[in-house]
Structure 1
């Protein structure tokens, strides 16, 4: 049976991404007449998330060769998925959910390994939960920009929360080597990077003027910076 603490943390993560969803809903009202603009904003936000948070943290804590291998695997996975699906299907939102899920696995395992530690710092756990507010923001923004049904977004949030709890439980019982964690993070980085540049920026930049497109991407990056500083 999954440890109660893991379930509680999963519930807190759901609340965290829900807060991000509310913020995204407010922002989307400002750009409700420009789905392309919202998509470009998402792309800029993801670039900020990578350069300000995910990549520096990964390089600081994990093995660079493993990360590089994971990035290559993530890129190949994205190519495989895009070739397997019909051109009318836009899998980017769900691929990004998978990427963000993979990104949480090493962190979940670390938290799980600390659950039995009497010196476990609960403030660190809370900061980890708050750290997922940007994920709720970007996923919601993507769903809104693509006009997808919100039930899919809700299921993505449930999936993220469940897997977060599951891997906390696994981390409390099983040790995953640093090399494997490095590859997982690399896969996450590869999926996020290619999706943000190819799906959200390059596919929408031609729909608007260069100045407007640059403004949206820059705004996304600035919002990401604000999230990084606050959370």
Structure 2
């Protein structure tokens, strides 16, 4: 299976996630804060059920912890660089960067297996299922914060190009497991801190506690659904 085909499958899968997010947003269209809380709960569930267990099972634990610390320091620098009026934009950028970085270790692994035709079907299936939740998450926060949809489209294009490029890299160049572990840790740190600080804590003060809990739990149970589906 070629690099371009796999990149196209990723683009297809994130658009499926975007469509699901659009339907959910229609249901909660009266509350942008609620949609942000839902996205925060979804990302927490995605980390707890899928990303973190897989990371510590497959990659170097020390490298992951180091990456999380780097992600935390990067977040502090970004928060100091952006004025409060631009905080919502910065959170979108941080989540986008985190998802780009999260794609790299998976891409490198696929690149290493690219020459084995017996993995073609499983690679295609995992590419589609693994990235539907990412498309859902990034679309939800774009809608909640009123970002232009052209930005979302460019994000999906960029994600597909990044995915394809690092598959090619994995097929030609070997990156050590420690380097991949650090990259994965950075993405975990950014996703975790952004989802909790920017999407949950920032919006929980705007709506009632009961409403906040409802939206966060709804997002979490959506992540459970995606986890079971994959």
| TM-score between both structures, scaled by the size of structure 1 | 0.96
Which residue of the partner structure matches residue 98 of structure 2?
Answer: 99
Q: Does 1:52 align with 2:49?
A: yes
Which residue of the partner structure matches residue 80 of structure 2?
Answer: 83
Q: Indicate if the aligned counterparts of 1:24 and 1:138 stay in contact, CA closer than 8 A.
A: yes
Which residue of the partner structure matches residue 212 of structure 1?
Answer: 211
Residue 118 of structure 1 and its aligned partner are, at CA, apart by: 4.2
Alignment size in residue pairs: 228
Aligned counterparts of 2:154 and 2:134: Cα–Cα separation in 1: 14
CA RMSD of superposed structures (Å): 1.1
Q: Indicate if the aligned counterparts of 2:4 and 2:164 stay in contact, CA closer than 8 A.
A: yes
Going by fraction, where is helix more abundant, 1 or 2? 2
**SS of equivalent to 1:180:** helix
Aligned counterparts of 1:201 and 1:70: Cα–Cα separation in 2: 23
Q: Indicate if the aligned counterparts of 2:10 and 2:131 stay in contact, CA closer than 8 A.
A: yes
Residue 121 of structure 1 and its aligned partner are, at CA, apart by: 4.1
Q: Indicate if the aligned counterparts of 1:17 and 1:133 stay in contact, CA closer than 8 A.
A: yes
Which residue of the partner structure matches residue 148 of structure 1?
Answer: 147
Which residue of the partner structure matches residue 169 of structure 1?
Answer: 168
Structure 1, gaps ≥5 residues long: none
**SS of equivalent to 2:18:** helix
Q: Indicate if the aligned counterparts of 2:18 and 2:135 stay in contact, CA closer than 8 A.
A: yes
1:1-231 matched pairs, under 5 angstroms: 5-89=2-86, 90-231=89-230
**SS of equivalent to 1:147:** coil
For each residue in 1:136-174, what CA deviation from the matched residue of structure 2 results, as whole angstroms up to 9, or x when unmatched? 111110000001101111111011000000000000000
Structure 2, gaps ≥5 residues long: none
Residue 120 of structure 1 and its aligned partner are, at CA, apart by: 2.7
Q: Indicate if the aligned counterparts of 1:45 and 1:217 stay in contact, CA closer than 8 A.
A: yes
Residue 123 of structure 1 and its aligned partner are, at CA, apart by: 2.0
**SS of equivalent to 1:132:** helix
Q: Indicate if the aligned counterparts of 2:110 and 2:123 stay in contact, CA closer than 8 A.
A: no
Q: Indicate if the aligned counterparts of 1:109 and 1:171 stay in contact, CA closer than 8 A.
A: yes
**After the TM superposition, which of the residue ranges 124-133 and 62-71 deviates more from structure 2?**
124-133
Q: Indicate if the aligned counterparts of 1:111 and 1:125 stay in contact, CA closer than 8 A.
A: no
**SS of equivalent to 1:208:** coil
